Structure 1
Amino acid sequence: MRYDRTVHLDTDFATTVERVREALAEQGFGILTEIDVTATLKAKLDHDMEDYVILGACNPPLAHRALEVDRSIGLLLPCNVVVRSDGAGTVVQALAPNTMVALTELDALRPVAEEATQRLDAALTSLTTTDVTT
């Protein structure tokens, strides 16, 4: 089972992060958390790596619906979106919302996961019209 939704872009890291924030906002997602993996690994382990950030995206109405089905679903929230450098371009990856259904085996989460997938795919597609991996 694939657990990611991925696009490859020919834009620099900083531009991509800003575009991802805007694309997610247009689909009703806010960014609750941001983890600068590159800076963290440098500070804690003195390890150098490519630009890599994890954005914790949340669509409050969808999160509320999911939590009404299963309070433990918070373990899978917010939806993580990774932006990372990849050669001259960038990669944007989002956790596939259907992962919630697969892991919990709760069919009642399916409508939430389907709507979240539509919204995330719309955000990713707005970044580029090619290379959306399902």
Structure 2
Amino acid sequence: MFHYTVETDKTMEEAIQSLEASLKEEKFGVLWQFDIKETLQKKGFDFDQPYLVLEVCNPKEAQRVLSENQLVGYFLPCKIVVYEDKVSGKTKIGMPRPTALIQMVNEGDLNDFAADIEDRLIACIDNSI
């Protein structure tokens, strides 16, 4: 599966606060929060689902992987989404798997790197629920 997604009973705000704290422990920072609902509504589109995209980065790891293959920058920084599921009403946290994304650059040497980042980000997500 190309993504990892979990569900929590926390509100979106609580989940994001917990996620940010967990990411900080792994030396990842949130560079930007993109509020899709707000942006679409400002552009005149009807979209009522709370949906945030967090762009997260560990500068040391980004420098390391970009030094090996600049194409990896096409999917950096890492994205983590936090949204309210329309059906269940629960908060969901998810991300595309770095191991799935790294396959697009077709360089086997980076698979272990992607697996490490994926494991660390999954741990951060799991710790935030």
Q: TM-score, normalised by structure 2?
A: 0.91
Aligned residue type for 1:113: A
- Report the RMSD for the aligned CA atoms in angstroms: 1.3
TM-score when scaled to structure 1? Answer: 0.87
Query: What residue identity is the alignment partner of 2:107?
Result: L
Cα displacement string for residues 46-84 of structure 1 (whole angstroms, at most 9, x for unaligned residues): 313211000000011211121011112111100000000
Partner of 2:68 in structure 1? 69
Supply the distance in 1 between the matched residues of 2:105 and 2:58 (Cα, whole angstroms): 20
Counterpart secondary structure, 1:88? coil
Query: 1:71-110: per-residue Cα shift (whole Å, max 9, x none)?
Result: 1211110000000012332000012110232111111211
Partner of 1:113: 114
Could you list the runs of 5+ residues in structure 1 that have no partner in the other structure? 129-134
Give ranges in structure 2 of 5+ residues lacking alignment: none
Contact map agreement 1:3 1:96 (CA 8 A) in 2: yes
How much has 1:120 moved relative to structure 2?
Answer: 0.7
CA distance in 1, matches of 2:45, 2:16: 24
1:72 and 1:121 map into 2 onto residues whose CA distance is: 23
CA distance in 2, matches of 1:64, 1:75: 14
Q: Which amino acid is the alignment partner of residue 112 of structure 2?
A: P
The answer to whether residue 120 in structure 2 is matched with residue 96 in structure 1 is: no
Provide the aligned length of Structure 1 versus Structure 2: 127
* Deviating 4+ runs (over 4 angstroms): none
Task: State, as a whole percentage, how many aligned pairs show the same letter.
Answer: 27
Q: CA shift at 1:25, angstroms?
A: 1.3
Amino acid aligned to 1:77: L
CA distance, structure 1, for counterparts of residue 109 and residue 101 of structure 2: 11
* 1:14-70 Cα deviation digits (max 9, x unpaired): 111111111111211111121100100110133132110000000112111210111
